[in-house]
């Protein structure tokens, strides 16, 4: 079986690495001939809108998937007339635009932060009357890792926010004073079987995910049930196949959906060592219509992203319960270069291990 992946980043790379033990082969399509997945798959460097390249890409593939959500929808549709494409292009479309995405959640009765479309300076002033301050102004499309968004805290910040983002379609959201951020990784197979990983607690800094903890400390079975129920609505509405990640804000003990990603997700990297079967393998099983593997956690995991620089590897590798993943990318500020997963038998061991790990990373940065 050969799988095509649109996008050649670290997610594509980890999908391929998870697929080889299952006897699968991979072809990836990326703009850059240097894409990290190219080191572990047959990489085609081409523009997603180049239909001749798409035809060549599709030749001989059994199924096509994506590893980043800004793959343009038209090429995904074009490919879906030649080969099975999962998740469905409709899911890509729904997730690419923050306004469409929030309206999608709203239609399904999935709670979200308050949001209003903003296309002009007047829209922004009116919207701010509704949300009050603070509020978050975001571009509707192409935002990631906190890019394309500004928190407006005071009236004096409003015009600067408009200066920096105005001119493209925007969305204004009420600022949620959340207790914490959690995410749900849900998976649905081509044959309708579904499975859910335990809720993950996520910590962002400057809009970039730094740390994920799974199981999320103190997550009750009620909260897990709430997340699974909300995710099930999204899976059903999209007739979804593959892994779907939903980021939530937890406030007053309940969940507000922030955004979703129709793909494997950074907050699921811990599953490689910390779950019976990883998100990557389960995504592949799902799109192939194979039985899903167990999503049960194995011990307690903490996943730390390596961003911008790579710390001293010898001291990291000396930690016995630590697993290192490097993506084969050149260091650059704010770039995700790899991640570390600490997997230990108890929540206490996770706390102490994490404190030690942070010290190590701090020392070598
Ligand atoms: N409405 C909001 N209220 C409070 N914090 C927010 C809000 N929207 C975003 N954030 C913060 O910014 C981070 C990144 O925003 P998000 O919408 O998830 O964009 P990205 O696509 O960059 O991940 C969130 O994880 C959260 O920490
Ligand atoms: Mg996010």
Model confidence over 222-279: pLDDT tens digits?
999 999 999 999 999 999 999 999 999 999 999 999 999 999 999 999 999 999 999 9
Q: What is the model's pLDDT at position 141? A: 97
- Identify which of 58, 3, 54, 57 has the alpha carbon closest to the alpha carbon of residue 25: 3
- Contact between 272 and 125 (Cβ < 8 Å): no
- C-alpha 278 to ligand 1 mean position (Å): 25
d(CA 102, CA 89): 17
pTM greater than 0.95: yes
Task: Give the ligand 1 atom nearest the CA of 98.
Answer: 17
- C-alpha 71 to ligand 2 mean position (Å): 17
Query: Bridge partners of 204?
Result: 209
Distance of alpha carbon 154 from the chain centroid? 31
d(CA 112, CA 152): 19
Whether residue 85 is predicted with pLDDT greater than 70 in this model: the reply is yes
Q: What is the model's pLDDT at position 363? A: 46
Q: What is the largest CA-CA distance in the chain?
A: 58
With the most atoms of ligand 1 within 8 angstroms of its CB, the residue from 68, 149, 176, 245 to mutate is 149
pLDDT digits (tens, 9 = 90+) for 9-43: 999 999 999 999 999 999 999 999 999 999 999 99
The protein residue with its alpha carbon nearest to ligand 1, atom 1, reads 175
Ligand 1: residues with CB < 6 A are 113, 136, 143-146, 173, 175-176, 181, 204, 207, 247, 258-259
- C-alpha 317 to ligand 1 mean position (Å): 33
- Contact between 181 and 248 (Cβ < 8 Å): yes
Tally the residues of the chain.
Answer: 365
- C-alpha 32 to ligand 2 mean position (Å): 24
Q: What is the model's pLDDT at position 365? A: 36
Whether residue 355 is predicted with pLDDT greater than 80 in this model: the reply is yes
CA distances from 254 to 58, 132, 178, 220 (A): 43, 22, 10, 11
Name every residue whose Cβ is closer than 8 Å to that of residue 341 and which is 6 or more positions away in sequence. Answer: 269, 270, 272, 273, 274, 301, 302, 303, 304, 322, 323, 325
Task: Give the ligand 1 atom nearest the CA of 176.
Answer: 3
Tokens read off for 137: 């102004």
């Amino acid at each position: 079986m050969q799988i095509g992946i649109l996008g050649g980043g670290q997610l594509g790379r980890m999908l391929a690495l998870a697929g080889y033990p299952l006897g699968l082969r991979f072809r990836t399509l990326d703009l850059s001939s240097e894409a990290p997945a190219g080191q572990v798959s047959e990489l085609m460097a081409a523009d997603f809108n180049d239909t001749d390249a798409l035809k060549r890409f599709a030749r001989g593939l059994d199924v096509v998937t994506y590893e980043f959500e800004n793959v343009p929808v038209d090429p995904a549709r074009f490919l879906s007339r030649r080969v099975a494409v999962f998740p469905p292009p409709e899911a890509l479309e729904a997730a690419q635009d923050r306004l469409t995405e929030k309206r999608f959640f709203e239609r399904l009765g999935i709670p979200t932060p308050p949001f209003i479309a903003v296309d002009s300076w007047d829209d922004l002033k009116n919207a701010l009357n509704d949300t009050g301050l603070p509020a978050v102004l975001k571009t509707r499309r192409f935002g990631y890792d906190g890019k394309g968004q500004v928190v407006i805290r005071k009236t004096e910040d409003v015009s600067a926010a408009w200066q920096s983002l105005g001119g493209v379609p925007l969305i204004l959201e009420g600022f949620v004073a959340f207790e914490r951020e959690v995410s749900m990784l849900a998976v649905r197979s081509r044959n309708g079987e579904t499975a859910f990983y335990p809720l993950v607690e996520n910590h962002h800094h400057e809009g970039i995910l730094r740390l994920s903890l799974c199981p999320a400390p103190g997550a009750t079975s009620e909260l897990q049930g709430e997340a699974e129920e909300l995710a099930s609505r999204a899976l059903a509405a999209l007739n979804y196949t593959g892994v779907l990640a939903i980021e939530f804000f937890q406030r007053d003990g309940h969940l507000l959906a922030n955004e979703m990603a129709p793909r494997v997700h950074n907050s699921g990297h811990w599953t490689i060592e910390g779950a019976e079967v990883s998100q990557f393998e389960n995504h592949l099983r799902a799109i192939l219509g194979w039985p899903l593997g167990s999503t049960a956690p194995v011990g307690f995991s903490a996943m730390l992203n390596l961003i911008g620089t790579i710390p001293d590897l010898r001291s990291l590798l000396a930690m016995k319960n630590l697993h290192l993943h490097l993506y084969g990318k050149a260091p650059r500020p704010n770039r995700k270069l790899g991640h570390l997963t600490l997997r230990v038998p108890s929540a206490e061991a996770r706390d102490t291990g994490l404190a030690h790990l942070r010290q190590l990373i701090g020392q070598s940065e």
